Structure 1
Amino acid sequence: MSRSRRRPRLPSPPVKRARRRSHTWRFGAAVAGVAAAAFLTVVYWPLDDDLERLVPKLERMVAVEPEPETGSAAAPTGDRFACDVAYVNDGDTLRCEDGTRIRLHAVAARETDETCSPGHPCPNASAASATAELRRLAANRTLSCERIGESYNRITAICWTPADVEINCAMIRSGTTVVWDRFNRERAICRSW
Structure 2
Amino acid sequence: MTAKPADTPTATPIVDQHQSFTCTPQRVWDGDGPIWCAEGPKVRLAGIAAREMDGTCRAGHPCPPTSGFEARNVLANALLGDPSRGSIADAPTGHLVLKGDVPSLTCVSEGSGKGSRTAAWCRSPAVGDLSCFMVRQKMAAKWDRYWRRHSC
- What TM-score results when the alignment is normalised by the length of structure 1? 0.57
Q: Distance in 1 between matches of 2:150 and 2:55?
A: 26
Within 5 A, what are the aligned runs for 1:20-169?
A: 50=8, 52-53=10-11, 56=13, 79-93=19-33, 94-139=35-80, 140-151=102-113, 152-163=115-126, 165-169=128-132
Go from structure 1 to structure 2 and tell me whether the alpha carbon gap of 1:87 and 1:164 turns closer, same or farther (over 3 Å shift).
same
Q: Distance in 1 between matches of 2:29 and 2:151?
A: 21
**1:28-80 per-position Cα deviation (integer Å, ceiling 9, x unaligned):** xxxxxxxxxxxxxxxxxxxxx84654x957x96xxxxxxxxxxxxxxxxx711
Q: Distance in 2 between matches of 1:169 and 1:52?
A: 31
Partner amino acid, structure 2, of 1:98: E
Larger-gyration structure (1/2): 1
- Contact 1:80 1:144 survives alignment (8 Å): yes
Q: Distance in 2 between matches of 1:163 and 1:171?
A: 13
**1:82-117 per-position Cα deviation (integer Å, ceiling 9, x unaligned):** 111101111111111133100000110001111111
Percent identity of paired positions between Structure 1 and Structure 2: 36
SS at match of 1:170: helix
**Shift in Å at residue 153 of structure 1?**
1.5
Higher relative contact order, chain-length normalized (CA < 8 Å, sep 6+):
2
**Structure 1: runs of 5 or more not aligned:** 1-48, 61-77
Q: Distance in 2 between matches of 1:134 and 1:163?
A: 11
**Structure 2: runs of 5 or more not aligned:** 1-6, 81-101
Q: Distance in 2 between matches of 1:79 and 1:87?
A: 22
Aligned residues: 122
**1:109-147 per-position Cα deviation (integer Å, ceiling 9, x unaligned):** 001111111111111110011101100111322100111
Larger helix percent: 1
Within 5 A, what are the aligned runs for 1:174-193?
A: 174-185=137-148, 187-190=149-152
**1:141-180 per-position Cα deviation (integer Å, ceiling 9, x unaligned):** 2100111121221000011112571111000000111000
Flag as ranges the 4+ runs of structure 1 deviating above 6 A.
none
- Contact 1:109 1:130 survives alignment (8 Å): yes
- Contact 2:13 2:116 survives alignment (8 Å): no
